[in-house]
């Protein structure tokens, strides 16, 4: 997976924006005002911080050497995925989807409906 693949995949989701709130290198993907993915531009190999359910986060860390506790994040709820490791791209896309879903489900029903209505 490349930075361009990540950006294209994240930005095609409803309600998602990309910004650089921390510095000019760390790309932050948000659903409305909530972060669901972060990565550092130009980093090789690409590493992505993704939100994850706590027990599943631990399971992934035990299964894959390329999944580590979230760098500079709450280690209970975030994983860092190294994209040139032992996890295939399709599995990484699934983790991105899971992270987006977790953030989406945290919104009120009204906000969820407004996100889904966006074109």
Q: What is the CATH number of the domain that holds 89?
A: 3.90.1150.30
Residue tagged 């290198």 (tokens): 25
Q: Is residue 42 part of a domain?
A: yes
What's the mean per-residue pLDDT of the chain? 95
Q: Where would I find the beta strands (DSSP E) of the chain?
A: 16-19, 26-31, 34-40, 47-51, 67-69, 78-82
Q: Are 45 and 84 in contact (CB under 8 A)?
A: yes
Number of domains in the chain: 1
The predicted model scores a pTM of 0.95
Q: Is residue 115 part of a domain?
A: no
Instruction: For 64-80, write each residue's pLDDT tens digit.
Output: 999 999 988 999 999 99
Range of the domain at 94: 3-107
- pLDDT exceeds cutoff 90 at 29: yes
| CA atoms of 59 and 23, how far apart (whole Å) | 32
Q: Is residue 119 part of a domain?
A: no
Q: Is residue 77 part of a domain?
A: yes
Predicted local distance difference test score (pLDDT) of residue 85? 84
Strands 16-19 and 67-69: unpaired
């Amino acid at each position: 997976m490349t930075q361009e693949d990540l950006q294209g995949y994240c930005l095609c989701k409803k309600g998602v924006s990309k910004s650089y709130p921390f510095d000019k290198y760390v790309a932050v993907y948000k659903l409305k005002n909530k972060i669901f993915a972060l990565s550092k531009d130009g980093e090789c190999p690409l590493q992505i911080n993704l939100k994850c359910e706590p027990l599943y986060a631990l399971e992934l860390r035990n299964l894959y050497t390329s999944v580590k506790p979230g760098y500079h994040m709450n280690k209970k709820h975030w994983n860092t995925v190294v994209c040139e490791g032992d996890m295939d791209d399709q599995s990484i896309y699934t983790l991105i989807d899971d992270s987006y879903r977790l953030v989406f489900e945290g919104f009120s029903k009204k906000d969820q409906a407004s996100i889904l209505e966006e074109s």
